[in-house]
């Protein structure tokens, strides 16, 4: 047989038996292309899912509002508050308690806007005053540590006038409004931003005697204001939210840390909140004596006011005579509203004045 014919017959037979080398190579090449295309599709789908999940997580954490419970923004009547007060027994371990107006004030004489204070307020300027049968407030402005600091000296006849309010009247996640807007909605005489509970997944939330959140980390320091007017810093590991209410807690805030306990500063020069800068706008609340409190807000992050460290804030609170003091949410949240007007200069970036929307406020109401 001719060699060419023999070769053709052999190739024909190999093709029938599936042994054609050329055919096998082609099949192998097509399979590789298929697997490569499938791999690319899988990577694209995986990336899309990752982006979608990350976007949802960020939106859920910072943007999407979730309402968990409606909150009555109306005040309790005096009889309702008295009933609530009688059901608890807080204040037994507080260094300063009581719900009647302090009989001794640290200011004297008639104070007018723009005048100088006296006593611990000798270096301050009066911003404004308010007084009725149950509430007396004088707001001062200091300039210390290259920072403007605003202090509301508050005296009340009963702790029922120290109140809290949620943004939009709702307890929830990412439900926010400006401090001034919340203050206006409840007719607050004086208001400061609260603990911004909505930015946290845990931390006790007790407002006007009602428990809204009972989870907390064991090392959390919370501030409990009792129906008897007492103010104390408590470790969450020492009492549950309900136990605090059973002991007479009227308001419980979870931010911290505590600044002063039993008249002693409890932070150091190295203390800070998370990754906060050393000098920041700050918000704090403290107790001076029976029915006597100080609400404090400092400016910061600007050429006029650099802000305060926690240690500077604690030392300042002590200079006012506070025996208990607690740090609330600061930074761009720090805002004080008095008689419908924002009196400090809130800022997040330091470029311009603008209120940040927050979850809640602490306020004095009539």
> Rounded to an integer, what distance in angstroms lies between the CA atom of residue 145 and that of residue 306?
8
The pLDDT value given to residue 44: 83
- List the chain pLDDT tens, one digit each, 366 residues: 544 545 445 554 555 444 444 455 555 456 666 677 877 888 888 787 877 666 655 555 555 666 776 555 555 666 667 777 777 654 444 444 445 565 444 443 457 888 999 999 999 999 999 999 999 999 999 999 999 999 999 999 999 999 999 999 999 999 999 999 999 999 999 999 999 999 999 999 999 999 999 999 999 999 999 999 999 999 999 999 999 999 999 999 999 999 999 999 999 988 877 645 589 999 999 999 999 999 999 999 999 999 999 999 999 999 999 999 999 999 999 999 999 999 999 998 888 889 999 999 999 998
Token code pair at residue 182: 């919340």
Q: How many CA atoms lie within 13 A of 315 on its CB side?
A: 10
The pLDDT value given to residue 58: 56
DSSP per-residue letters across 117-183: --GGGTT-EEEEEEE-SSEEEEEEEEEETTEEEEEEEEEESSGGGEEEEEGGGEEEES--EEHHHHH
Token code pair at residue 217: 């980390």
Q: How far is CA 332 from CA 177, 255, 282, 335, 352, in A?
A: 13, 15, 9, 8, 11
DSSP per-residue letters across 52-75: HHHHHHHHHHHT--EEEEE---SP
The pLDDT value given to residue 110: 59
The pLDDT value given to residue 12: 47
The neighbour count for residue 329, using CB atoms within 10 Å, is 26
The pLDDT value given to residue 79: 67
> Rounded to an integer, what distance in angstroms lies between the CA atom of residue 88 and that of residue 236?
19
Whose structure tokens read 């007017």?
229
Question: So where are the chain's domains?
Answer: 3-58, 74-364
Among 188, 225, 233, 107, residue whose Cα is nearest residue 363: 188
> Rounded to an integer, what distance in angstroms lies between the CA atom of residue 292 and that of residue 155?
5
> Rounded to an integer, what distance in angstroms lies between the CA atom of residue 222 and that of residue 243?
13
The pLDDT value given to residue 134: 97
> Rounded to an integer, what distance in angstroms lies between the CA atom of residue 361 and that of residue 167?
8
């Amino acid at each position: 047989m001719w060699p060419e014919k023999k070769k053709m017959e052999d190739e024909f037979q190999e093709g029938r038996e599936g042994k054609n080398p050329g055919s096998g190579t082609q099949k192998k090449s097509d399979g590789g292309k298929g697997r490569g295309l499938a791999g690319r599709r899988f990577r694209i789908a995986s990336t899309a899912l990752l982006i979608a999940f990350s976007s949802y997580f960020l939106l859920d954490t910072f943007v999407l509002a979730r309402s968990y419970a409606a909150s009555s923004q109306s005040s309790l009547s005096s009889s309702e508050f008295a009933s609530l007060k009688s059901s608890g027994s807080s204040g037994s371990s507080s260094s300063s308690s009581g719900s009647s107006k302090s009989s001794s004030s640290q200011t004297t004489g008639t104070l007018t806007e723009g005048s100088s204070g006296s006593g611990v307020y000798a270096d301050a300027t009066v911003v404004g005053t308010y007084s009725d049968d149950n509430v007396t407030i004088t707001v001062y402005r200091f300039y210390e540590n290259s920072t403007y600091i605003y202090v509301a000296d508050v005296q009340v006849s009963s702790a029922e006038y120290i109140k809290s309010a949620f943004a939009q009247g709702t307890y929830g996640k990412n439900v926010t409004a400006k401090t001034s807007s919340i203050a206006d909605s409840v007719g607050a005489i004086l208001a400061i931003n609260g603990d911004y509970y909505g930015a946290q997944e845990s931390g006790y939330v007790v407002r006007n005697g009602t428990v809204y959140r009972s989870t907390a980390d064991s090392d959390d320091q919370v501030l409990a204001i009792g129906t008897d007017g007492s103010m104390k810093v408590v470790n969450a590991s020492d009492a549950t939210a309900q136990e605090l209410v059973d002991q007479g807690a009227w308001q419980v805030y979870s931010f911290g840390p505590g600044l002063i306990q039993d008249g002693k500063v409890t932070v150091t020069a190295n203390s800070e909140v998370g990754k906060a800068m050393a000098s920041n706008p700050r918000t704090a609340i403290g107790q001076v004596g029976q029915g006597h409190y100080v609400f404090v807000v400092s400016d910061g992050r600007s050429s006029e006011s650099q802000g305060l460290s926690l240690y500077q804030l604690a030392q300042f609170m002590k200079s006012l005579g506070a025996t208990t003091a607690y740090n609330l949410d600061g930074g761009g949240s720090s805002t004080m509203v008095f008689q419908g007007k924002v009196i400090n200069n809130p800022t997040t970036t330091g470029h311009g004045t603008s209120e940040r929307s927050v979850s809640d406020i602490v306020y004095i109401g009539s």
